[in-house]
Amino acid sequence: MQRAAGLYGSLIVLDGDDPFKKDPMYAGELSMLLSDWYHEPVYAQAAGLERKDDHFQWIGEPQTLLINGKGQFGCTLGDVVGEPKCDRKDGERVEAACDKRCGDGGKESEAEKKVVCEDEKAASCAVIRRSECGPFCNETQCGPVVFDVVPGRTYRLRIASSTSLSALNVQVQGHKLTVVEADGNLVEPFDVNSIDIYSGESYSVLLNTAAAEQGASPVSYWISVGVIGRKPRTPPALAVLRYAGSGPDELPTGAPPATPAWEDVGRSKEFAKRLKARAGHGYQPPPETTGAHRHRTIAMLNTQELVDGRIKWAINNVSLSLPFTPYLGAYAYGIPGQVFNTTPAPAAFGRKYDVAKPPQEQDPAAVLPAAVTDQVHSLAHGEVVDVVLQNADMRRDDVSESHPWHLHGHDFWVLGYGEGPYRGDAADEARLNLRDPPLRNTAVLFPHGWTALRFVADNPGVWAFHCHIEPHLHMGMGVVFAEGMEEEKRLRELRHKVPREAIMCGKTALAATSPSPSP
């Protein structure tokens, strides 16, 4: 839950042969880091998620959406566009006038004067005073982030989401966006009016500042970021695209673009399906699963379970709980059996499970008891791994959510999406793209459907694969891939190459002080 507390930032790796910089109209980059902000401490959120039975407390919706760490809360649109009852410019004047009136000739006590004065100030600044913008709008944070551009040029706008919960839609008023990159990998360009972005995802879009319908003089435009996928209870975040020549305090006229219908999952799916890998630039299609490659398929059923009175998320009836000792250290020092449950994590689920029913309505023969454990999936080095993520009903009938699944240590090919249960039959196979699927590190599992992925286990280590929604991971929605850990040569490399400080805690701290036993 640390990301929800503000532990996040952007890390941008530049391409030495960036194709977009070759455009003579290219003017540079703009970066937009999106997040959501809960005003309640994450410790309280976590405690609520861990309560039993009827005392379980879901974290709810965030209070604020942030763009580059800045957002609005308790601010009306009038506050943002420069028409509040008291703004940053006259806040001190209003406060000073209130203070003067409070001290003029009354017989009130000092305490009474303070109450009267505060009431007068509240009447003058009714909306803003209750917000996070600061009392009386002094140094207000209601104002939007501003991105300055020059007319008639092309900008690469990098958009990344580190939200705890929210899926978001991004629009730039009066401009189309050309999607060119997803999760650090180039895609075939295509134009959109807006993009949907889930936690953990990143995109680059080309923004052409000649495409806007401009008046006789330079103007500015709203950038609007709103919640999709869940019924919004959080106001949209606003930024401004400001053309050179606009006044420094000039803000867009009219209302910001409206966020699309939050429940229109079909629109989000169509966007995801339009992403195709761009040929060249080092792209390799996914390897075939026949011939010399060792291959395996892991089917992962995503359900919401009740374990010992606590609501948990589970994959194939297993809810992930990380051990106190690092997996990697346990392998490096030959003590995995002392650290975690070495029984292989289940790689499939019963085909009798009805994904259109909640867990408590299943045929008892179709399910196994759910358990909280720290089991892992062991992968051989070089193995080709197909993962089929299968969504299902939560603990309510006909209620299913989107989950952005994120893999550490790898990119994967997103082979395709489908509705209902994945059967692996000809109809499902026909939905897979084996020619130019995009390389990603995050893919969305949409409600009541499935998502198919493929990657090559060519990066030895212990890697998390999990839902990027913070409370869902906290409640167990994840698995662990232990990759190449069966080879003594690689374990010796771990002991020599991995900094000891990274793996020396728990039982490995003791093991590292004595000669390493054979695994």
Of 53-57, 325-329, 448-452, which one has max mean pLDDT? 448-452
- Mean pLDDT over 500-517 rounds to 73
**What pLDDT was estimated at residue 386?**
97
Percent of the chain clearing pLDDT 70 (strictly above) = 82
- Mean pLDDT over 112-118 rounds to 54
In whole angstroms, give the CA distance from residue 451 to residue 466. Answer: 14
Q: How confident is the model at residue 103 (pLDDT cuts 50, 70, 90)?
A: low
Q: How confident is the model at residue 75 (pLDDT cuts 50, 70, 90)?
A: low
**What pLDDT was estimated at residue 130?**
33
**What pLDDT was estimated at residue 142?**
67
Q: Of the given ranges (350-354, 390-394, 502-506), which has the lowest mean pLDDT?
A: 502-506
pLDDT, tens digit, 9 for 90 and up, residues 160-188: 999 999 999 999 999 999 999 999 999 99
Nearest to 36 by CA among 266, 233, 221: 233
Q: How confident is the model at residue 141 (pLDDT cuts 50, 70, 90)?
A: low
**What pLDDT was estimated at residue 342?**
97
- Mean pLDDT over 61-88 rounds to 67
**What pLDDT was estimated at residue 128?**
35
**What pLDDT was estimated at residue 279?**
93
- Mean pLDDT over 401-415 rounds to 98
Q: Of the given ranges (277-286, 341-350, 501-510), which has the lowest mean pLDDT?
A: 501-510
In whole angstroms, give the CA distance from residue 295 to residue 386. Answer: 8
**What pLDDT was estimated at residue 512?**
61
CB atoms inside a 10 Å sphere around CB 109: 9
Under 8 Å between Cβ of 299 and 348 = yes
pLDDT at residue 88 greater than cutoff 50 = no
**What pLDDT was estimated at residue 124?**
47
Report the half-sphere exposure of 31 (CA within 13 A, side-chain side): 9
**What pLDDT was estimated at residue 253?**
81
pLDDT at residue 54 greater than cutoff 80 = yes
**What pLDDT was estimated at residue 229?**
95
pLDDT at residue 56 greater than cutoff 60 = yes
Residue 33, H or E segment? strand 26-37
Q: How confident is the model at residue 351 (pLDDT cuts 50, 70, 90)?
A: confident
**Residue of higher predicted confidence among 219 and 337:** 337
pLDDT at residue 513 greater than cutoff 80 = no
Q: How confident is the model at residue 473 (pLDDT cuts 50, 70, 90)?
A: very high
pLDDT at residue 30 greater than cutoff 50 = yes
Q: How confident is the model at residue 354 (pLDDT cuts 50, 70, 90)?
A: very high
pLDDT at residue 244 greater than cutoff 70 = yes
In whole angstroms, give the CA distance from residue 244 to residue 390. Answer: 49
- Mean pLDDT over 38-51 rounds to 92
DSSP states of 369-431: --EEE---EEE-TT-EEEEEEE----SSTT----EEEEESS--EEEEEEEES----SHHHHHT
Q: Are strands 177-182 and 145-149 parallel, antiparallel or unpaired?
A: unpaired
**Residue of higher predicted confidence among 138 and 364:** 364
pLDDT at residue 484 greater than cutoff 60 = yes
pLDDT at residue 21 greater than cutoff 50 = yes
Under 8 Å between Cβ of 474 and 230 = no
- Please give the backbone phi and psi of residue 153, each rounded to the nearest 5 degrees, phi first: -125, 175
Nearest to 442 by CA among 431, 453, 433: 453
- Mean pLDDT over 254-258 rounds to 89
Q: Please enumerate in sequence order all residues whose Cβ is within 8 A of that of 436, keeping only pairs 6 or more positions apart, or say none.
A: 188, 276, 277, 279, 285
**What pLDDT was estimated at residue 96?**
59
Q: Please enumerate in sequence order all residues whose Cβ is within 8 A of that of 67, keeping only pairs 6 or more positions apart, or say none.
A: 32, 33, 34, 144, 145, 223, 225, 237, 238, 239
**What pLDDT was estimated at residue 211?**
59
- Mean pLDDT over 246-253 rounds to 76
**What pLDDT was estimated at residue 43?**
92
Per-residue CA distances from 404 to 2, 270, 478 (Å): 18, 16, 11
Q: Of the given ranges (3-7, 91-95, 196-200, 440-444), which has the lowest mean pLDDT?
A: 91-95
**What pLDDT was estimated at residue 119?**
53
Mean pLDDT for all residues in the chain: 86
In three-state secondary structure terms, 298 is strand
In whole angstroms, give the CA distance from residue 357 to residue 345. Answer: 24
Nearest to 36 by CA among 260, 171, 235, 211: 235
Nearest to 301 by CA among 346, 344, 364: 346
Q: Roughly what angle, to the nearest 10 degrees, separates helices 110-124 and 91-102? A: 150
Q: How confident is the model at residue 284 (pLDDT cuts 50, 70, 90)?
A: very high
Percent of the chain clearing pLDDT 90 (strictly above) = 66
CA 469 vs. chain centroid, Å, equals 6
In whole angstroms, give the CA distance from residue 62 to residue 208. Answer: 32
Q: Please enumerate in sequence order all residues whose Cβ is within 8 A of that of 386, keeping only pairs 6 or more positions apart, or say none.
A: 289, 295, 296, 297, 298, 415, 452, 453, 454
pLDDT at residue 13 greater than cutoff 70 = yes
- Please give the backbone phi and psi of residue 200, each rounded to the nearest 5 degrees, phi first: 95, -15
pLDDT at residue 118 greater than cutoff 70 = no
Q: Of the given ranges (89-98, 139-148, 274-283, 449-458), which has the lowest mean pLDDT?
A: 89-98
pTM above 0.95, yes or no: no
In whole angstroms, give the CA distance from residue 20 to residue 248. Answer: 29
Q: Of the given ranges (33-37, 134-138, 347-351), which has the lowest mean pLDDT?
A: 134-138
